[in-house]
Amino acid sequence: MTFVLPRTAGLSSMLADIHRAALSDMAGRPERVAVAIQAHLHDPDLLAGISCPSCPNSYIRHLLHADPDGSYAVVALIWRPGQMSPVHAHRTWCALGVYRGVLSEAFYDLPGGNVTPRQTGVVLRGHGSTSCGPADPGAIHRLANLSGEEAISFHVYGARFDRFGQDVNHVF
């Protein structure tokens, strides 16, 4: 099933660039998708006319594009101040870009075979920055909006949108 939203020229262009990168060779795919996203993060009209409301209880995903073959999906995440993802790793490749605001990306490891992750570092990701990674149960992280303003980020996952719950995050 294909999901179609009204699109600005900029959003159509970004989705076309993501499509080319998301269907390229697996080696380096997350990096190429991040580059495709980054090229469009400074377009102030990217989401013009598209409703992406926030949610008071947690960050929320808005589907922007689902690949008809189910190879990937593109979502906009809306983060109110203080909202954060769970600590998780990915079961599929992923790439993200910060469109508005600042997100912190905390990194974790599992020392000595523990089942409780321990934070090892944090990077602030401001407007225009990207991050990406392969499917890797050891690449554990958490995204959070610790600022006082709403943030928006674009995420691309190598999974069908209706399978995000099963195929994207391994939550700790």
User: Does the annotation place 141 within a ligand binding site?
Assistant: yes
Q: Is 88 annotated as a binding residue?
A: yes
Q: Which residues pair with 90 in a beta bridge?
A: 136, 169
Amino acid type, 125: R
Tell me if 155 is assigned to a ligand binding site.
no
Could you tell me which residues are annotated as the binding site?
88, 90, 141
Could you tell me which residues are annotated as the binding site for Fe cation?
88, 90, 141
